[in-house]
Amino acid sequence: MSSHVRSFYDAFAEKQVRTGINLRHRRIMDWLRTYGLKDGMNVLEIGCGVGTQTALLADAVPNGKLLANDISPVSVDHARERLQGRNHVKFLVGDIVQLPVEGTFDMIVLPDVLEHIPLGDHGALIGKLAALLKEDGRVVIHIPAPQFLDFETKHRPEALQVIDQPIHLHVLLPHVAAAGLYLHAAEHYSLWTDGPDAAVFVLKHYRNDLAFKSLPPPVGKVGQLRRRLARLRRGDRAGQ
């Protein structure tokens, strides 16, 4: 990513520090728990900024490990200060696609960062995520809904960051498929407005979900319970 983008986020860091943790960060945590975040996991956060989401993630996995990455060294300095004493949290500065990263992760989180990464870099990024994701792991991507960013571009362009582009599924999914991943879940919801202004996508390894076992027929309450428990063991949301 260009030095121009890095410089923007170096300067943007002070504003992020003043803003602190807000509703968006807490809603992201709700989604992460919904899609399987548990204590003891090895988690990678891409686009950690000044560490606001990182602090909540660190609280969620006190017995796990958290690697937080950002392209802005100034932002990461703030994050390190915020997370002082959290020995299970490490930081990595630079472009995640270019950086060597050790190990694999149970969950990879992109909290409102993908829309700030040039579309031309998405293929390499998704490929790197697939390489870093454990076989049964999940990538959770939170973004502004594309229709909301289109609205902002037209009516409030001054509120946008240096790169702030709508992420449409028909553009994203070819990269997902090329990396051997698939779209496990996608939801739009209302965060700041009365409409679906935010979205969350969950990616999983395609090859890991090719084995299927028959479930007990949902006959009576006992059969329905057995079927629900079998689905929960597979990690399906709410046993659906």
Across 42-46, 80-84, 161-165, least confident range: 161-165
Q: What is the pLDDT of residue 12?
A: 65
**Where are the domain boundaries for CATH 3.40.50.150 in the chain?**
3-209
Q: Where are the alpha helices (DSSP H) in the chain?
A: 3-19, 23-34, 52-60, 73-82, 122-132, 146-155, 169-178, 220-233
User: Residue 8: pLDDT above 80?
Assistant: no
Number of helices (H), then strands (E), belonging to the chain: the values are 8, 7
Name the average pLDDT for the chain: 89
Across 10-24, 47-61, 216-230, least confident range: 216-230
Over residues 118-132, the mean pLDDT reads 96
Do 43 and 107 contact (CB within 8 A), yes or no?
yes
Q: What is the pLDDT of residue 1?
A: 59
Nearest to 49 by CA among 84, 99, 87, 11: 11
Percent of the chain at pLDDT > 90 equals: 67
Nearest to 122 by CA among 186, 171, 53, 161: 171
User: Residue 237: pLDDT above 60?
Assistant: no
User: Residue 29: pLDDT above 70?
Assistant: yes
Q: What is the pLDDT of residue 178?
A: 97
Q: What is the pLDDT of residues 148-204, one digit of tens each?
A: 888 878 888 777 666 778 999 999 999 999 999 999 999 999 998 998 999 999 999
Do 12 and 161 contact (CB within 8 A), yes or no?
yes
Across 68-72, 197-201, 207-211, least confident range: 207-211
Q: What is the pLDDT of residue 72?
A: 93
pLDDT greater at residue 2 or residue 38: 38
Ranges 20-29, 156-165, 172-181, 223-232, most confident = 172-181
Q: What is the pLDDT of residue 239?
A: 42
b vs e for 100-138, b when ≥16 Cβ sit within 10 Å of the residue's Cβ? eeeeebbbbbbbbbbbbbebeebbbbbbbbbebbbeebb
User: Residue 123: pLDDT above 60?
Assistant: yes
Q: What is the pLDDT of residue 131?
A: 97
Classify domain 3-209 by CATH architecture. Answer: 3-Layer(aba) Sandwich (3.40)
- pLDDT band per the 50, 70, 90 thresholds, residue 240: very low
Three-class secondary structure of residue 108 per DSSP: strand
Q: What is the pTM of this model?
A: 0.84
CA distance 99 to 157: 32
- pLDDT band per the 50, 70, 90 thresholds, residue 238: very low
